[in-house]
């Protein structure tokens, strides 16, 4: 079986500008996420960061990517529009796109959603309980009924997203807020999953349950093996090119 090619992309700024966060993620958030995925033999995992030429997201790289995982926060605007458009187009063409935490405001996600994607937030070390509300969904595979993060950043509704095609997780926070924390959409031929936990000040991406969710999400978001659609003017009428074979008709 061919491996699923995963690219973990991170702006990689907090880890370098803050000694505290650099201590939590010495290899970057992308490094911690990649480490978790490498435990799964079905995945081939590479990483890219904002400081690379073309943000590490040139055509060649994206064409060899089955699923792109994205983490950004303070540098959404530093991703050039043409790079964001390239990512959007690849998703429409079938690449999976997993959007983490504060990346709900990254350019390609906002473009794909068509809404503002803002929410409310508070950094107050509050407890988060992530409830699995669709236990039969592939992204919920091997999870308990809920997972609990002792300290995370709080997000709250309203989250300005289009109604998800499938909602897998809802988070409750000790401060009283709730949030649609695991949401799926299809755009074109591509699948998109937004997952909320993962504030840079907490070691969230080392947790085995979070790593399980990301692995499940990669497997769910991988490109389908469906037919490539024919688009535009079709000069030959369908009926005339169809080979009609009645030889396997059922005769009692
Ligand atoms: Zn955050």
Q: For residue 105, how far is its CA from the centre of ligand 1 (angstroms)? A: 11
Q: For residue 241, how far is its CA from the centre of ligand 1 (angstroms)? A: 56
Question: How is domain 4-249 classified at the CATH fold level?
Answer: Rossmann fold (3.40.50)
Q: Give me the phi and psi of 189, to 5 degrees please.
A: -95, 0
Can you tell me the mean pLDDT for 180-195?
98
Q: For residue 72, how far is its CA from the centre of ligand 1 (angstroms)? A: 9
The encoded tokens of residue 249 equal 């008709």
Residue 241's pLDDT is what?
A: 60
Annotated domain spans of the chain: 4-249
Q: For residue 102, how far is its CA from the centre of ligand 1 (angstroms)? A: 5
Q: For residue 231, how far is its CA from the centre of ligand 1 (angstroms)? A: 41
243 or 140, which is more confident: 140
Q: For residue 12, how far is its CA from the centre of ligand 1 (angstroms)? A: 13
Residue 160's pLDDT is what?
A: 98
Q: For residue 229, how far is its CA from the centre of ligand 1 (angstroms)? A: 39
Considering only CA atoms, which of 246, 128, 231 is closest in space to residue 176?
Answer: 128
CA distance 142 to 232: 43
Tens of pLDDT, residue by residue over 55-114, are: 999 999 999 999 999 999 999 999 999 999 999 999 999 999 999 999 999 999 999 999
Q: Is the pLDDT of residue 243 over 70?
A: no
Calculate ∠ Cα 56-58-59, nearest 5°: 150
Q: Is the pLDDT of residue 195 over 80?
A: yes
Q: Is the pLDDT of residue 237 over 90?
A: no
The encoded tokens of residue 218 equal 């990669």
Tens of pLDDT, residue by residue over 111-139, are: 999 999 999 999 999 999 999 999 999 99
Q: For residue 93, how far is its CA from the centre of ligand 1 (angstroms)? A: 30
Beta-bridged to residue 187, according to DSSP, are: 190
Mean pLDDT of the chain: 95
Tens of pLDDT, residue by residue over 141-165, are: 999 999 999 999 999 999 999 999 9
90 or 243, which is more confident: 90
């Amino acid at each position: 079986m061919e491996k699923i090619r995963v690219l973990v992309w991170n702006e990689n700024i907090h880890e370098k500008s803050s000694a505290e966060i650099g201590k939590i993620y010495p290899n970057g958030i992308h490094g911690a996420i990649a480490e978790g995925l490498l435990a799964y033999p079905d995945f081939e995992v590479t990483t890219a960061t904002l400081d690379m030429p073309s943000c590490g997201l040139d055509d060649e790289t994206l064409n060899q990517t089955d699923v792109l995982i994205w983490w950004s926060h303070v540098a959404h605007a530093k991703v050039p529009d043409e790079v964001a458009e390239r990512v959007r187009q690849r998703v429409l063409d079938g690449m999976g796109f997993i959007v983490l935490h504060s990346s709900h405001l990254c350019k390609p996600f906002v473009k794909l959603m068509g809404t503002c994607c803002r929410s409310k937030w508070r950094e107050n070390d509050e407890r988060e309980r992530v409830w699995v509300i669709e236990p039969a969904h592939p992204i919920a595979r091997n999870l308990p009924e809920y997972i609990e993060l002792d300290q995370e950043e709080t997000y709250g509704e309203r989250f300005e997203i289009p109604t998800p095609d499938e909602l897998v997780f809802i988070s409750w926070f000790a401060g009283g807020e709730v949030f649609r924390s695991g949401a799926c959409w299809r755009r074109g031929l591509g699948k998109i999953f937004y997952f909320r936990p993962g504030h840079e000040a907490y070691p969230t991406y080392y947790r085995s349950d979070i790593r399980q969710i990301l692995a499940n999400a990669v497997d769910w978001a991988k490109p389908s093996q469906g037919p490539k659609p024919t688009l535009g003017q079709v000069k030959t009428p369908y009926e005339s090119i169809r080979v009609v074979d009645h030889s396997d008709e059922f005769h009692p």
